[in-house]
Amino acid sequence: MEKMSMSHEDYLEAMVMLGASPEKPIRSVDVATKMGVSKASVNKAMSVLKEKGYAEQPYYGDITLTKPGYDYGLSVLDRHNLLFQFLHKALGIPEERADHEACLMEHAISDESFEKWSTYIKGLNL
């Protein structure tokens, strides 16, 4: 899977959080609200995600994630959630800061490192 920019990963993650899937479309205005950006910014991001095969959107219609787009977004969300739980619950970092730092870390860590770290953390039963 080709690595996307942090911004585009955030869009995929937000769309999964909003319930988007290959079977369930969502509205671009909901993505804009969730991300705190304009609809124009969403449309610009969608053009890249469509080009990469991660999303489909007819001209100004609802957004549908493709299977690869859904899987990618779900992967980013899973990373975020595990990193957040570790930072907040295991290390006691305040919730808001743990959420922000998990967002930064989810994009920086390699797949291989995350998988090894994830296996280790899950073995601790935190």
pLDDT at position 44 over 90: yes
CA distance 79 to 107: 9
Tokens 């299977």 identify what position?
A: 67
pLDDT-derived band at 1 (thresholds 50, 70, 90) equals: low
pLDDT-derived band at 20 (thresholds 50, 70, 90) equals: very high
pLDDT at position 15 over 80: yes
Name the E strands within the chain: 55-56, 64-65
What value does the mean pLDDT take over residues 102-112? 92
Model confidence, pTM: 0.89
The pLDDT tens digits of the residues spanning 61-71 come to 899 999 999 99
Residue 40 near residue 26, CB atoms below 8 Å: no
What value does the mean pLDDT take over residues 53-76? 94
Which domains does the chain possess? 6-70 (1.10.10.10), 71-124 (1.10.60)
CA distance 46 to 103: 21
- Note the pLDDT of residue 126: 66
pLDDT at position 2 over 90: no
